[in-house]
Chain A
Amino acid sequence: MSSAPIHRRLPLTWLGLLPFIIFVTLFLILPTIHIVIGAFQDRSGAFTLQNLRDLNTGTIPSSYWISIKISVASAALGCLIGFGMAAAVTFGAVPRWIKAPLMTFSGVASNFAGVPLAFAFLATFGPVGLITVFLRNNFGIVLQRDLGFSILSFWGLTVTYLFFQIPLMILIITPALEGLRKEWREAAEVLGATSAQYWHMVALPILFPSLLGTFALLFANAFGAVATAIALTGSALNIVPIQLFAQIRGDVLGNPNLGYAMAFGMIVITAIANVLYIWLRIRAERWLK
């Protein structure tokens, strides 16, 4: 077979992907591009940077700031707790059989954002929730008054987000922890390293790209979450997805193009976080072959 027929067939080979290309163009690419272009247009359709400048007005900067803080807090705590749990099952601090059910559970819980999750936390930490009532009746502690904790607040939302952040961390970091070779630890020990030195000078530097990458992914994950926040706080907490939701529903900003700019800001932030994740993941995989 010469290569000539292949060359002649090449234009036709594309046709097999046509349904897919048409679908993603219409329902993924074009809608996104429409938003991005709209962010740089004024009402008459002319090019402008005014919308992006207007992001710095009213309640918008504070909503971005709260969103970023919640995303950072839930990503950091998710990384920390998830890492601890993954390490406990990977390095044999607890019986091995716990690992498989924990991974299965993580697969479920990491996908379980949304309205029901909000109700689960309301039923537990809300004004008449299980824990709230238990603490009040048995210890005389009122969550809101004595500990300053309300489920409808910054920390309330962060604690709720952890329900899908921790499992996502466990799912992603466990393979990385398994990639730490026994030989490296043994080599460190032979050279006289303490456990702390091994972690500080060998394991953590190797895991660092994975950890930072997963942090970025968890950040993006929290930043885009809409349903949990709306069901939990209504409009009490002024975060970006809630404000954008209100804007799409009823143009509360009084300027449709400012809405585009807000959405564009969301894309930029989640895109940066995801690019960071992918880049760090590629770096991390060098060690995990």
Chain B
Amino acid sequence: MSLYARITGWIVLLFGLSYFALPLLGLTEFSLKARRGVYSLDAYAKIIHDPEFQATFSYSVAMALVTIIMGVLIVVPTAFWVRLKMPWARPYVEFITLLPLVIPAIVIVFGYIRLYNTSSWLPLTGSVMGTNLLLAFGYTTLALPYMYRAVDTGLRTIDVGTLTEAAQSLGAGWATILGRVILPNVLVAVMSGAFLTFAIVIGEFTLAALLDRPAFGPYLQRIGANKPYEPFALSVIAFAITWACMGLIQLTNRLSKHTKAAAR
């Protein structure tokens, strides 16, 4: 590697890294400036005691958990069934799960609003509970590509056929096989899909805003327009949550590698 290439490499890398570091630095610095002249945590204290923050944040957390449960209930049996009985269908199922990356979220929710309005055959947007449900379905759809890929990768590492036959010969039904044999074996994969889903749902804006639900994303956007420092403190919190989720994914992946290495 020539000196010239080395220097270029360093310049490009440092340029890139400072591009990533500066906004995070700027954001954190700004969020601490609520008190004139000194750095303080005033903005954070204010935001944490804001009842609307508490309400929207817990709403989004609840939404994320519901989404994860729905995602697991739909993806795990499907990926399992495809691996076990219909391997030829795998490319098609995988293609469908990737569609939410192709069709913009705003288009999907547009379809929901028109398809499930009060005068339709399935008037989900007519009631609060129905809209909540629709939002959870929407999030499950958005998380589908990540969840499916995570679970399918997990299933690849275990012998689905043998495990199923062993469980069946011991008299287990499908629910037992899925819940007590397959799921524990792909738990690490499910967890990494779940953390990613959590990170996506917590800050999601488009679906929640257009379905008019009191979620964290729209709240953040709304107070951004009329509060000076609080939205920046909130953004720091949102960044921290995303980072924590991604850190947990790394951790679970690493743990799984260790257990697998030990098993061998």
User: Of residues A19, A31, A119, which shows the largest number of chain B Cβ atoms within 10 Å of its Cβ?
Assistant: A119
Interface residues of B in 91-108 (CB under 8 A from A): 93, 96-97, 99-108
Q: In the complex, what's the smallest C-beta–C-beta distance from A169 to chain B, in angstroms? A: 10
Interface residues of B in 241-261 (CB under 8 A from A): 242-243, 246, 249-250
The tally of residues in A whose CB lies under 8 Å from a CB in B reads: 75
Known interface pairs A93-B1, A245-B210. Does A224 touch B104 (Cβ–Cβ under 8 Å)?
A: yes
Contact B140 A17 (CB under 8 A): no
Check: A252 CB closer than 8 A to any chain B CB: no
Per-position contact with A for B50-88: 1 when CB-CB < 8 Å, else 0?
A: 000000000000000000000001110110011001100
Bound complex: CA of A104 vs CA of B251, how far in Å?
A: 11
Given contacts A108-B246, A121-B26, 17 further A-B contacts (CB under 8 A): A23-B140, A26-B122, A27-B137, A27-B138, A28-B108, A38-B114, A88-B12, A91-B1, A112-B239, A119-B27, A120-B27, A130-B30, A163-B20, A226-B105, A230-B221, A245-B210, A271-B102
Check: B193 CB closer than 8 A to any chain A CB: no
Q: In the complex, what's the smallest C-beta–C-beta distance from B238 to chain A, in angstroms? A: 4
Contact B16 A32 (CB under 8 A): no
A81, A107, A119, A195: the one within 8 Å of B16 (CB) = A81
Bound complex: CA of A244 vs CA of B242, how far in Å?
A: 28
Bound complex: CA of A252 vs CA of B94, how far in Å?
A: 37
Bound complex: CA of A83 vs CA of B123, how far in Å?
A: 48
Per-position contact with B for A179-223: 1 when CB-CB < 8 Å, else 0?
A: 000000000000000010000000000000000000000001001
Q: List A contacts of B105 (CB < 8 A).
A: 224, 226
Check: B110 CB closer than 8 A to any chain A CB: yes
Query: Which residues of A are in contact with B by a Cβ distance under 8 Å?
Result: 13, 16-17, 19-20, 23-24, 26-28, 30-35, 38, 81, 84-85, 87-89, 91-94, 98, 104-105, 107-109, 111-112, 114-125, 129-131, 162-163, 166, 195, 220, 223-224, 226-227, 230-231, 234, 241, 244-245, 248-249, 259-260, 263, 266-267, 270-271, 274
Contact B26 A129 (CB under 8 A): yes
Contact A162 B19 (CB under 8 A): yes
Contact B220 A116 (CB under 8 A): yes
Check: B175 CB closer than 8 A to any chain A CB: no
Please list the 7 inter-chain residue pairs (A to B) with the smallest Cβ-Cβ separation, ordered nearest first. A93-B9, A31-B111, A124-B26, A224-B104, A227-B205, A130-B26, A88-B9
